Amino acid sequence: MIEIIAALLMLIASIGLVRMPDLYLRTSATSKSSTLGIALIMLGAILFFRDREVTLLAVSVFFFIMLTAPIAAHLVGRIAYHRGVPLWEGSVVDEWKEKK
Amino acid sequence: MNIVEVILTVSMVIIAASIAITFIRVVRGPSLADRVISLDILTIIAAGMTAVIAMLAGSKTIVDISVLLALLSFLSTVAFAYYMEKERGND
């Protein structure tokens, strides 16, 4: 059952990637959901194999993705703001623009 | 065909559908950053799919490919971000 829940989280991430109106909302939707999805898939692999090496590899994959997915999303979002990718018209605050 | 194989096959189908949906954003993304983000998510989904393939095949060595894909995802995103910052302004 863990694998089906993880696959549904991946499906939520890709649907959010298509349906969200803005680049910044897309990064917010996908980085969180896919991180939880990969964590549940690796938990399923640990419970399936019950082996020392697979446990080590799966825990290392989970920690690496949990560390780097927000960094990658923040990096791409910051550079896209500097390149002038527009915000959604329903956005309520833009602190970087008010500061200038 | 026991219950574990059924669950793994169903999750495999759902992950394949999510890869197909992600390709929509890769094809019609308005800016370059949309395509970079969708390729990043595509690599993470492929890492999860590789772990499911390892469980279906019952082989422990396929989990190594999942580690490799998780490392390559961050590296390729940082490389694309560096390239986007180098030639800023003509999007």
pLDDT at B89 over 70: no
Using a CB-CB distance cutoff of 8 angstroms, which residues of chain A are in contact with residue B73? 65, 68, 72
Q: How many domains does chain A have?
A: 1
Nearest CB among A27, A41, A53 relative to B51 is that of A41
**In 3D, which of A1, A4, A23, A26 has the Cα closest to residue A15?**
A26
Please indicate, yes or no, if residue A49 is contained in any of the structural domains. yes
Please indicate, yes or no, if residue A92 is contained in any of the structural domains. no
In this complex, do B77 and A60 lie within 8 Å of one another by their Cβ atoms?
A: no
Which region among A89-98, B6-15, B18-27, B59-68 has the lowest average model confidence (pLDDT)?
Answer: A89-98
Which residue would you say has higher pLDDT here, A90 or B3? B3
pLDDT at A23 over 90: no
Nearest CB among A11, A57, A64 relative to B18 is that of A11
Nearest CB among A1, A71, A85 relative to B7 is that of A1
Q: Delimit the domains of chain B by residue range.
A: 3-86
* C-beta separation of A83 from B88 below 8 A: yes
- Helix, strand, or coil (residue A90): coil
Q: What is the mean pLDDT of chain A?
A: 86
CA distance A19 to A21: 6
Confidence grade of residue B88 (pLDDT, cut at 50, 70, 90): low
pLDDT at B13 over 90: yes
Please indicate, yes or no, if residue A73 is contained in any of the structural domains. yes
Please indicate, yes or no, if residue A53 is contained in any of the structural domains. yes
Task: State the residue range of the domain holding A19.
Answer: 2-85
Q: What is the value of ipTM here, to two decimals? A: 0.86
Using a CB-CB distance cutoff of 8 angstroms, which residues of chain A are in contact with residue B45? 10, 13-14, 34, 37
Please indicate, yes or no, if residue A97 is contained in any of the structural domains. no
Specify the pTM. Answer: 0.88
In this complex, do B25 and A18 lie within 8 Å of one another by their Cβ atoms?
A: yes
Q: Scanning the structure block, which residue is given the tokens 């803005």?
A: A22
